[in-house]
Amino acid sequence: MRWHWLAGPTCCVSGSSCVVQGEWYSQCTPSGGTSPPPPSAPPPASGSSACLASADGFSSLNGGTTGGAGGTTVTVTNQSDLDKYASASGRHVIKVQGRITITPFGKEVRVSSDKTIVGIGSTGQIYQGAFHYRVVISETSAKTPKAALPFMGEHANDYRERLRWDSVRLLENGGDGLLILRKDTTFFTVSNNIFRNHDKAFGIGWTENVVARGTIHHNWFDRTNQRNPSADNLAQCHLYNNYVLGVTSYGHYARGSTNARVENVYFESCRNPLTKDSGAILNASGNIYQSCTGTVAANSGTAFQPRDYYSCTLTATADVPSHVKANAGPRASVCPS
């Protein structure tokens, strides 16, 4: 198991850049200043560079999250091909073109290791189905009509899942949880997603172990009810620059023995925007609570420092709604072809 340890400021505010100098520390410098080049990232798969990006946060550690990079790139337009390549051995970058309707309703598409699934343009969509996976998923939509059969719109049921990156997706109208990370899923990053029109948005945990590490940033929780997210028994959970709008039960929730740092999150018209259990550790700073009611949990205990693990740049909290609205969810520019 390989670790990268970095020291310096936890994150840089807008107007500064986070850089790495030497092997063991990081620092912030004003934008436009002279700084050493950052470490080089693994090269993307040939012919798919426009549809791949480097993982950040905890998913960049422990060797990084590469998915199907360096493998075969395929384009799928139907469920048969999606099933075929998702379950195939070896590395694959799977591009989803248009809407693929999954049958029977609520079926889980099994995805093997070393896969990247990315939607082409803004219309790549998995409809009425779910993924069960240990891979990189980005730039797709997952939808199902309300009611009907119970199922998880996007979920992971693997035990001790590792190295996972979910980004730029729209998830809505599922039967249970839109995104579920279970039983020691670790080294994950969930970023630039939209969770919308649902009861249970995003749950993490279902374990007595306190070992998981995760980063959750620049997501839009849009009028969902609960699990926004619910983070249960995470050894380290870094939540920053999320836009939490109109939730009706609770917003960010540090459950069990979670150690959470919450930075520059914009909560608007939320009930109980920030909650914690008595055994959880919480450090919240720089957040905005606009027209919110109910609980805003107080800081308690000694929260971990993300700077000990990775570098990141914080968006100014007042700019979070506009930034997230412009960048979260499927976008044509991410994977144009």
Res 42: pLDDT: 36
Average pLDDT score over residue span 191-215: 92
Average pLDDT for residues 183-201, to the nearest whole number?
A: 89
User: What pLDDT does residue 179 have?
Assistant: 86
pTM for this predicted structure: 0.77
Kindly report the average pLDDT of the chain as a whole number: 78
Confidence at residue 9, expressed as pLDDT on a 0 to 100 scale: 35
Residues in Cβ contact with 282 at an 8 Å cutoff, skipping those fewer than 6 apart:
254, 260, 262, 274, 276, 297, 298, 299, 300, 301, 303
Residue 167 has pLDDT above 80, yes or no: no
Distance, in Å, from the CA atom of 267 to the CA atom of 212, rounded to the nearest integer, reads 25
Pairwise pLDDT comparison (249 vs 155), residue with the higher score:
249
Query: Is residue 156's pLDDT more than 50?
Result: no
DSSP-derived letter for residue 173 is: S
Give the pLDDT band of residue 201 (cuts 50, 70, 90).
very high
pLDDT digits (tens, 9 = 90+) for 24-67: 223 343 444 433 333 333 333 334 555 666 678 998 888 777 78
> What mean pLDDT comes out for the span 181-210?
90
Using the 8-state DSSP alphabet, how is residue 133 labeled? -
Mean pLDDT, residues 149-170? 44
Tell me if the bond preceding 330 is cis, omega within 30° of 0: no
Residue 144 confidence class, pLDDT cut points 50, 70, 90:
very low
pLDDT higher at 269 or 6: 269
Q: In order of start, what are the domains of the chain with their CATH numbers? A: 12-32+53-327 (2.160.20.10)
Q: Please report the pLDDT score of residue 137 as a whole number.
A: 60
- Please tell me the predicted confidence (pLDDT) of residue 277: 98
**Confidence (pLDDT) at 138:** 56
Does the pLDDT value for residue 276 go beyond 50?
A: yes
333 has a pLDDT exceeding 50: yes
- The CA-CA-CA angle for residues 101, 180, 136, to 5°, reads 70
Kindly indicate the confidence band of residue 105, based on its pLDDT and cuts at 50, 70 and 90. confident
Structure tokens at 188: 């994950």
Nearest to 176 by CA among 203, 194, 158: 203
For residue 84, name the pLDDT band (cuts at 50, 70, 90).
very high
On whether the CB atoms of residues 119 and 140 are closer than 8 A, the answer is: yes
Is residue 19 over pLDDT 50?
A: no
- With bands split at pLDDT 50, 70 and 90, how would you rate the model's confidence at 21? very low
Mean pLDDT is highest, among 55-69, 155-169, 193-207, for 193-207
- The fraction of the chain above a pLDDT of 90, given in percent, is 48
Model confidence at 169, pLDDT cuts 50, 70, 90, reads low
Residue 183 pLDDT: 78
Provide the CB-side half-sphere exposure for 134 (13 A, CA): 18
pLDDT one-digit tens code per residue, 230-262: 999 999 999 999 999 999 999 999 999 999 999
Task: Look at 16-30, 120-134, 223-237, 261-275 and tell me which has the smallest mean pLDDT.
Answer: 16-30
